[in-house]
């Protein structure tokens, strides 16, 4: 089965309500993370993709937020899957290379240029969407 690497913040997660807290301990508080919203149409698209592909979520968060991130994904209705977090691009690149060795990635979905960098390093199709306002029809068109 092919896999898809799915970025969390900005792609499937709208965390704008806490952007004013960047740099504070409150930014990644459990309550604030649990109050994030899924981007419009993301739950439906991921549910559809999960029937054909293995989804793997990745985010730009410190690794100690894996459990609360999983709790949020479940709370808002995303398909259950593995979650990997890296606080910087170097950590996320290392995670991506480790995942590449174990998975057959057909695509990566993200909202930033550094997401594209990971997809290209993994040798898969890169789909970059507008941050917080992704067009999921584009994703379905190319997958």
Domain ranges (residues) in the chain:
3-142
| pLDDT per residue as tens digits for the range 40-60 | 999 999 999 999 999 999 999
Whether 23 has a pLDDT exceeding 90, the answer reads no
The terminus-to-terminus CA distance of the chain in angstroms comes to: 14
Task: Tell me: pLDDT of 28 over 90.
Answer: no
The closest alpha carbon to 6, from 89, 118, 91, 123, belongs to 118
Please report, for residues 47, 86, 100, the alpha-carbon distance to residue 135 in angstroms, rounded to integers and kept in the order given. 15, 25, 26
CATH numeric code, 3-142: 3.40.50.1000
The mean pLDDT value of the chain amounts to 96
Angle between the N-to-C axes of helices 113-122 and 89-102, in degrees from 0 to 180, rounded to the nearest 10: 30
pTM: 0.95
Given a contact cutoff of 8 angstroms between Cβ atoms, the answer to whether 46 and 79 are in contact is yes
Q: 47 versus 62: which is more confidently predicted?
A: 47
């Amino acid at each position: 089965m092919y896999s898809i690497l799915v970025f969390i913040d900005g792609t499937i997660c709208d965390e704008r309500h806490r952007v004013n807290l960047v740099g504070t301990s409150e930014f990644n508080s459990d309550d604030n993370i649990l109050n994030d919203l899924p981007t419009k149409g993301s739950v439906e698209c991921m549910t559809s993709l999960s029937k054909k592909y293995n989804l793997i979520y990745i985010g730009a968060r410190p690794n100690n937020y894996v459990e609360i991130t999983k709790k949020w994904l479940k709370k808002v209705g995303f398909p259950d899957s593995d979650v990997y977090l890296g606080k910087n691009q170097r950590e996320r690149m290392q995670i991506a290379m480790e995942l590449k060795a174990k998975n057959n990635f057909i695509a990566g979905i993200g909202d930033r240029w550094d997401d594209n960098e990971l997809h290209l390093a993994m040798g898969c199709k890169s789909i970059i969407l507008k941050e917080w306002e992704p067009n999921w029809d584009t994703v379905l068109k190319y997958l």
